[in-house]
Each structure stands twice: as structure tokens, then as C-alpha cells.
């Protein structure tokens, strides 16, 4: 058993304290917190099955064998690395709070996963997708505005669906997005998406409002019952339009975000500007798009140059 300090060392309480720290002090989203919670719960279950009372009793060997078993089960290097990161965060928190006196993850060797190239849509695919909603009815007008705004701004789906009426400035042409850690940024909106926003606010959203609700919802995008549109609801909407548009690849809100960034860089936008628009804290996250552009150039070269193959 690891030596602990005078603090109470209850396994469940220590794990809950860490998740509270992530939620309150680091401002992580509910989805990210759920992922951390699942990773830690899986580790706790594995420890119990292998005779270790709790994560407070676990040592370096427990962690090594756990990660090794994950690899043997066929989990990708990326998934294993993510789970290891969750455990590192937990033990560093416990060490900092004085609940443990040593960090068993300190010498943990985890292979770094290669960052996958993000998928994106061609301009033709984007046009077909944007043109699918029937804007003659309120739901279709809402959907067209959703797609236009997502492609025009590159917002994360959580940022898009969290937009409130007060976050939209139609006169100047921007929206206020709240990203990871509730960080605020201004994102410009192009003229086409701005026109759809004006149409939706004038004749789409008012018809989606539920007159029986006493309180007025502040959120920009509503569902057919007059409530805030959910992530799951938007995913279903997007998937259906992609099928109707004949887009073969799997389309998610993140694919449109990738398309936004890729099309900007292909037309000469600088990396720093794209980083700010996407809300990336570190420019290295944005640099993956430069790798994708190089990969695309290589594919074009191999396809069309007479001596490439």
C-alpha cells in the first residue's frame, strides 16, 4: 500500500474529488467528463478483478499490466494513450492534494499515437449537403441555417448548439462562441450564412417557439417541440441530409469543421488565423491541417504526373 498523508483516503471520494476538480477548476465539458469517468471506472473494475482493493493501492506494475491488457484486447494506441492520460491526471491530482505520496504513473511508458488526418468534404459535397434542406418550412429553414453557420464558422457542435440570441450580431456579422474551458471568442460569419440567419430569426425560429412555455428560451436553435436542439438531434439531421446528398463518406459536425479549416488553408489563409477561428489553444493542434494539405498534394501528384508511378 502506498504511504498516504493525514487526509482521508476513501477511494470513491478521491475519484469524485478529481472529477469535481476537472469540472469546476478546469471547466471541462460534460462529454469530456463522461469520458474521464468511464476510463477511471474501467480501471477501478480491472483492479478489483485482479485483487487490488482500489486505485489508492495500485502500483506501477498494476498500471503496466492494465495497459498491456488493453493492447492485447486490440484497443488502438490512441485509445490506450487516452486512458493512460486519464490515469496520469488522476494520480497527479492525488499527489498534489496530499492523498498519495508518490505517483505510480511517473515512469509509465505509453507509446504516442500518430495523429490521424481529419476527414473533410470537397466543395461539391459541401454544396450538395447545404442545398438539401427544404427551406420553405420552419424546420428546413432551421436546418439550412445550421449547416450554413457550421460551415461558415467552423464551430464545434457544442459551441453551435449553445449559441444564444444575444451571441449573434447581425449588424457587424459575428457570433460569440464559448469553447473548451468556457473560453470566449468572436467568430466572423460570412454574408451567405448571415442571410440565412436573418431569414431563420425572422420566419423560422418564431414558428418553432412553444407558446405554452412561460419562459422564453434564449437558445438560437430549437427543435420541433420548441426546446433546445440536442447534439443527438443534430447528428441525426446531418446524417440524413448527407445520405440524401449522396455523400459517401461518414459526415459528422466535426467533418464540416475540418472542411472549414481545410478550405481556408487551401485558399491561402495563414495557420495562425485558422487557429484563432477554430479556438485551438495550441497551434500544434492546427498544424495537422498542413499535413493533410501535403498528403492531398501527394495524391494529386501521384494521380496526374506521367512519371509518378
Is 226 in a helix, a strand, or coil? Answer: coil
> Which member of 55, 156, 162, 258 is catalytic?
156
> Which member of 180, 199, 239, 263 is catalytic?
180
> Which member of 18, 66, 178, 289 is catalytic?
289
Residue 257 known to be catalytic? yes
Q: Among residues 26, 182, 180, 183, which one has the least CA distance to residue 93?
A: 26
Q: How far apart are CA 130 and CA 139, in angstroms?
A: 14
Residue 7: CA count within 13 A, CB half-sphere = 18
Answer whether 95's CB lies under 8 Å from 102's CB. yes
> Which member of 55, 62, 142, 257 is catalytic?
257
Give, to the nearest 10 degrees, the angle between helix 288-304 and helix 253-266: 70
Contacts of 249 (CB under 8 A, 6+ apart): 119, 121, 255
Residue 180 known to be catalytic? yes
> Which member of 228, 254, 263, 296 is catalytic?
254
Give the residues across from 222 on adjacent strands. Answer: 228
Residue 23 known to be catalytic? no
Dihedral-angle region of residue 217 (phi above 0 means left; psi in -120 to 50 means alpha; beta otherwise):
beta
Grid coordinates representing 52 are: 487490488
> Which member of 64, 82, 227, 280 is catalytic?
280
Residue 156 known to be catalytic? yes
Residue 254 known to be catalytic? yes
Residue 301 known to be catalytic? no
Active site residues: 156, 180, 254, 257, 280, 289
Amino acid at each position: 500500500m502506498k504511504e498516504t498523508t493525514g487526509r482521508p483516503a476513501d477511494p470513491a471520494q478521491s475519484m469524485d474529488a478529481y472529477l469535481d476538480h476537472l469540472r469546476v477548476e478546469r471547466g471541462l465539458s460534460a462529454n469530456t467528463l463522461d469520458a474521464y469517468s468511464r476510463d477511471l471506472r474501467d480501471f477501478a473494475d480491472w483492479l478489483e478483478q485482479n485483487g487490488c482493493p482500489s486505485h489508492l493501492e495500485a502500483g506501477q506494475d498494476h498500471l503496466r499490466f492494465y495497459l498491456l491488457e488493453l493492447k492485447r484486447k486490440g484497443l488502438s494506441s490512441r485509445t490506450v494513450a487516452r486512458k493512460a492520460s486519464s490515469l496520469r491526471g488522476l494520480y497527479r491530482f492525488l499527489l498534489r492534494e496530499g492523498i498519495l505520496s508518490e505517483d505510480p504513473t511517473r515512469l509509465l511508458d505509453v507509446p504516442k499515437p500518430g495523429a490521424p488526418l481529419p476527414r473533410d468534404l470537397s466543395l461539391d459535397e459541401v454544396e450538395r449537403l447545404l442545398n438539401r434542406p427544404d427551406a420553405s418550412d420552419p424546420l428546413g429553414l432551421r436546418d439550412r441555417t445550421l449547416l450554413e453557420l457550421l460551415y461558415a464558422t467552423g464551430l464545434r457542435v457544442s459551441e453551435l448548439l449553445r449559441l444564444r440570441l444575444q451571441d449573434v450580431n447581425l449588424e457587424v456579422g459575428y457570433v460569440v462562441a464559448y469553447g473548451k474551458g468556457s473560453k470566449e471568442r468572436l467568430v466572423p460569419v460570412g454574408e451567405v450564412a448571415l442571410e440565412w440567419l436573418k431569414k431563420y430569426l425572422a420566419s423560422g425560429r418564431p414558428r418553432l417557439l412553444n407558446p405554452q412555455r412561460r419562459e422564453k428560451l434564449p437558445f438560437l436553435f430549437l427543435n420541433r417541440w420548441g426546446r433546445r436542439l440536442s447534439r443527438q438531434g443534430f447528428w441525426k439531421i446531418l446524417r440524413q441530409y448527407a445520405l440524401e446528398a449522396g455523400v459517401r463518406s461518414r459526415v459528422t459536425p466535426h467533418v464540416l469543421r475540418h472542411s472549414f479549416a481545410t478550405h481556408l488553408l487551401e485558399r491561402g489563409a495563414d495557420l495562425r488565423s485558422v487557429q484563432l477561428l477554430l479556438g485551438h489553444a495550441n497551434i500544434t493542434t492546427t498544424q495537422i491541417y498542413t499535413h493533410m494539405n501535403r498528403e492531398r498534394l501527394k495524391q494529386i501528384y501521384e494521380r496526374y504526373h506521367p512519371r509518378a508511378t
